[in-house]
Amino acid sequence: EVQLVESGGGLVQPGGSLRLSCAVSGFTLSTYEMHWVRQAPGKGLEWVAWISSSASAIYYADSVQGRVTISRDNAKNSVYLRMNSLRAEDTAIYYCARAGLDREVTTGSFDLWGQGTKVIVSS
């Protein structure tokens, strides 16, 4: 089955760290760019980070730049998001998302999403 499964979320104190994982199955991870997108409680969607298929290109939202690191291990079929110096405003569901391909051209859209992992930053 083609799917993404996130893990690693939880309750963390302000200033703390977490490492989120996204396990992929049913497709060849090395073919795809991957993203993390988050959604604060009752709010809209916010793109967080993007990693190219070979990890040669990485981009971050300004809101997390310098505090977050996206990485991938294609051999382990996994994508990661390391988050440091967490703030209350980082509280959200974090989704791993696959960048869509149309005839081997990246569409810029997210065609596959995980169910998300919840991160709560609170003392």
Partner 1 sequence: DIVMTQSPDSLAVSLGDRATITCKSSQSVLFSSNNKDYLAWYQQKPGQPPKLLIYWASTRESGVPDRFSGSGSGTDFTLTISSLQAEDVAVYYCQQSYSTPLTFGPGTKVDIK
Task: Tell me: does residue 9 bind partner 1 (CB under 8 A).
Answer: no
By CB under 8 A, name the one of 1, 41, 56, 62 that touches partner 1: 62
- Name every residue whose Cβ is closer than 8 Å to that of residue 76 and which is 6 or more positions away in sequence: none
Task: Tell me: does residue 23 bind partner 1 (CB under 8 A).
Answer: no
Task: Tell me: does residue 95 bind partner 1 (CB under 8 A).
Answer: yes
Report the alpha-carbon distance of residue 109 to residue 100 in Å, rounded.
Answer: 6
Q: Which residue carries 């893990």 as its tokens?
A: 7
- Name every residue whose Cβ is closer than 8 Å to that of residue 44 and which is 6 or more positions away in sequence: none
Task: Tell me: does residue 100 bind partner 1 (CB under 8 A).
Answer: yes
Nearer to partner 1 by Cβ, of 46 and 77: the residue is 46
Nearer to partner 1 by Cβ, of 32 and 95: the residue is 95
Report, in angstroms and rounded to the nearest whole number, the Rg of the chain calculated over CA atoms.
Answer: 14
By CB under 8 A, name the one of 5, 40, 55, 61 that touches partner 1: 61
